Chains A and B, each alone.
Chain A
Amino acid sequence: MDLTPLVEAAQNSALSEWMRTSLKAVAIINALHVLAIVTVFGTILIVDLRLLGIPNVRRSFTRMHHELLRWTWGAFGISAITGVLLFMVNAVTYHRNTAFWLKMATIVLAGINMLVFELITAKSAPSWDKGVIPPNAARLAGALSIVLWVAVIVFGRWIGFTKGYDFTIPEDVQFDFSAPAQ
């Protein structure tokens, strides 16, 4: 599937143009994106650690999971919206950026991990709600989730260091560091 026309349309849109010319917009959207993603990560981390029995299994899993869910989803919604906006600013560049696609793929994997947990593993949650170490499948979901969300942050930061320069320098290129002729 060739996404190029869609990506170009996103970048040529009035909204994208406005974000590029009003530089404050990008700074504010970017800061919101960071705030949202760390909230997604942090709230999921609490649930993941609880699945791993850290710091303990005293509290009801169902209750703590239920309390945090709306914060996680609210923050995820903000991450997704701000993420789409940031993508639109330089859509063509991001579209060919490896770190960007690794980040997207990792979010999908984290989503699959979550779905498997919610639809299958969590069905037995009443039997390990508190005072019991969760079953292996639940602990695995928790551990995978931590690894995947840290990877999302790693690739997200990596985008900032690779966007626009995602190529290898040809061996035969000679750089001239001398001052240009006046």
Chain B
Amino acid sequence: MLEFAEWLGSTPLSIAIQSRLWLTPLLQTIHIVMIGVVFVSMLSVALRVLGQVRTDEPLAEVWHRFAPWFWTALGVMAGTGVILTISEPVREVSALSFWIKLTLIVIGVASALYFGRTVATGAGVGAVTSVYSGRARVVAVATILLWVAIMFLGRWIAYDVEIWESWHLA
């Protein structure tokens, strides 16, 4: 892969694109800044469940603090992600990382929707000082790991062959 990247990077066509095409790095940068917002929003809520931050606030309030940031940044990520995929479709669809990442995003979004709904109905949210049970803590840790995995897989689209070897889809 390194050799391929070096070869591709040295082709005249690639150099011509690099000297003009600011769009891909710009979109990737926006994508990374936004995953920072998405991840840290989820992390804050999860760490609240784990009793690490904002224990002076009810969980529902922590969720309401971060939910708009989470959903807005996720929307921007979806937009930049779609454009990036269109610009290099073969690279994306041939990457196993890409498909696992999409699957995990579906799970992450579904669980965030479910959590938001649960918080809205006031069920299981508890009082200001509530300490959460073992099960809630497991879910919080799982949520952190899910978003960490999504980030790893996103970065690994560029390293798909190295990571998955013969499981790479091309």
Contacts and interface: CB of A to CB of B under 8 A. Distances in A.
Contact of B57 (A31, A45, A59): A59
A172 interface: no
A34 B33 CA distance: 10
A157 interface: yes
Given A150-B33, A153-B29, A45 B6 contact: no
Interface string B121-156: 000000000000000000000000000100110111
B159 A39 contact: no
Interface string A1-43: 0000000000000000000100110110011001101110111
Contact of B54 (A23, A67, A161, A169): A67
B155 A31 contact: yes
A55 interface: yes
B35 A38 contact: yes
Interface residues of B, number: 40
Given A42-B36, A45-B40, A153-B29, A23 B159 contact: yes
B166 interface: no
Contacts of A165: 9-10, 15, 18
Contacts of A24: 159, 162-163
B72 interface: no
Contacts of A71: 43, 47
Interface string A138-178: 00000000000010011001101110110001000001010
Contacts of A35: 39, 148, 151-152
A39 B43 contact: yes
Nearest to B73: A42
Nearest to B161: A23
Interface in B56-72: 56-57, 65
A68 B52 CA distance: 9
Nearest to B159: A27
A104 to B, nearest CB: 17
Contacts of B12: 175, 177
A23 B163 CA distance: 8
Interface in A62-88: 63-64, 67-68, 71
A38 B151 contact: yes
A46 interface: yes
* For the complex of A and B, 8 pairs with smallest distance between CB atoms: A42-B40, A27-B159, A38-B36, A175-B12, A23-B162, A31-B155, A42-B36, A31-B152
Interface of A: 20, 23-24, 26-27, 30-31, 34-35, 37-39, 41-43, 45-46, 55, 59-60, 63-64, 67-68, 71, 150, 153-154, 157-158, 160-162, 164-165, 169, 175, 177
Given A35-B39, A161-B24, 9 more contacts: A24-B163, A31-B156, A35-B148, A39-B36, A39-B39, A59-B57, A63-B56, A157-B28, A165-B9
